[in-house]
Amino acid sequence: MSNIFKIELAKDDLNQALNTWISHLKNEKRVSLHTVDAYYRDINSFIHFLIEHIGGPLSLRNLETLIASDFRAFMARKKRDGNSTRTIARLMSSIRSLFEYFEKIEIIKNNAINNIRMPKLPQSIPKPLTYEQAKDLIIDTQNPDINEKSPDWVQIRNKCIFLLLYGCGLRISEALELNIKDAPIEEWQDTIRVRGKGNKYREVPLLSDVKENIKKYIELYPKKYNFDDPLFVGVRGDRLSPRIVQIIMQKMRASLNLPENATPHSLRHSYATHLLQAGVDLRSIQELLGHASLSTTQMYTKVNQKELLDVHQKAHPRNKARHLKLVSDNS
């Protein structure tokens, strides 16, 4: 995606201002391309709504004179279109970010959005895979019954990606942004350097299995490479798209009969959850995951609490006695 605004029914001043904001995100805030794409889609959706809502063409002056009911109308439209509360909250967050930037560089000022009550999000608990499910998933990336038409280098590529997600806790965007020069193939390398959110780097410890498979993948790399080339490429030689990894996961999920929550990101959830269950402290997990706030990492304690409650319900003597009584009553 080019991320360049050329909206036909938006006036030049608005398109130019929007592209200035996109440039700010890329070059000053240095957010990931995945995040830039998300911002672009959100604001593009909002601008096209306003063109219809107000009766374009749209200018910066129109944005400056928006009132609270205009923003509420956008939220209501998205709700009618079937968007979730979480999606609408993300859209409004993007719009607020845009207006804050415009105010900061003194293009326009509009406080109406600050009077909008943002959608209240339900607190969701991460849904990790079990250890056995994660292990089966990684092993089956090279299962000939599933990958009969995939060349060897594609199979080992997929295995390396899943190993980085589960064995190192990387986000899918972090794994796919790695270049050849980032590959930990030297004997002395026992960590991998990752660029996370907010352009912050962290060193993540490597399991020997991850390192060995990346070395095998480099040996099978499908073309002559330079060190600045992407580590993970598609069949056309370009940097691999997150969508391709999601499709691969969908196929694996069906073949292994995994639950719907088996996604690339669930492997990162599984990494954190299994570390916590093994006794690793929250502060260390926070650093490994690259979370800015410990409160974000603390959501994994809720997974543990839920599992403990489930075990308690199934194993506690009083619950067993109750179950036996119910069976006796029904016999």
From the candidates 78, 211, 268, 274, give the one annotated as an active-site residue: 268
228-270: per-residue pLDDT in tens? 999 999 989 999 999 999 999 998 888 888 888 899 999 999 9
Active site residue 312: no
From the candidates 78, 159, 171, 211, give the one annotated as an active-site residue: 171
Structure-token pair, residue 180: 């050849």
Architecture of the domain whose range is 131-307: Orthogonal Bundle (1.10)
Q: How many CB atoms lie within 10 A of CB 129?
A: 23
Active site residue 265: yes
pLDDT at 60 over 60: yes
Q: Mean pLDDT over all residues of the chain?
A: 86
Active site residue 316: no
300-319: per-residue pLDDT in tens? 877 766 555 554 455 544 44
**pTM value surpassing 0.85:** no
The Cα–Cα gap between 120 and 75 comes to: 13
Looking at the chain, the domain(s) classified CATH 1.10.150.130 span 12-115
**Amino acid at site 178:** L
Q: Identify the sign of the CA torsion 4, 7, 8, 10.
A: negative
Q: Is 201 helix (H, G, I), strand (E, B) or coil?
A: strand
From the candidates 72, 127, 202, 265, give the one annotated as an active-site residue: 265
Active site residue 80: no
Q: What pLDDT score does 307 carry? A: 56
* 49, 75 contact by CB (below 8 A): no
Q: What pLDDT score does 35 carry? A: 85
Active site residue 291: yes
pLDDT at 321 over 70: no
Q: What pLDDT score does 304 carry? A: 63
Residue 300 or 20, more confident: 20
Evaluate whether the domain defined by 12-115 bears CATH number 3.40.640.10.
no
* 85, 120 contact by CB (below 8 A): yes
Q: What pLDDT score does 296 carry? A: 81
Looking at the chain, the domain(s) classified CATH 1.10.443.10 span 131-307
From the candidates 41, 197, 216, 239, give the one annotated as an active-site residue: 197
What is residue 10's DSSP assignment? B
Task: Provide, rounded to the nearest whole percent, the portion of the chain with pLDDT above 90.
Answer: 51
Q: Identify the sign of the CA torsion 282, 283, 287, 293.
A: positive
H or E segment and range at residue 205: strand 201-205
Q: What pLDDT score does 41 carry? A: 94
Q: For residue 116, give the nearest of 63, 87, 84, 74 by alpha carbon.
A: 74
Active site residue 197: yes
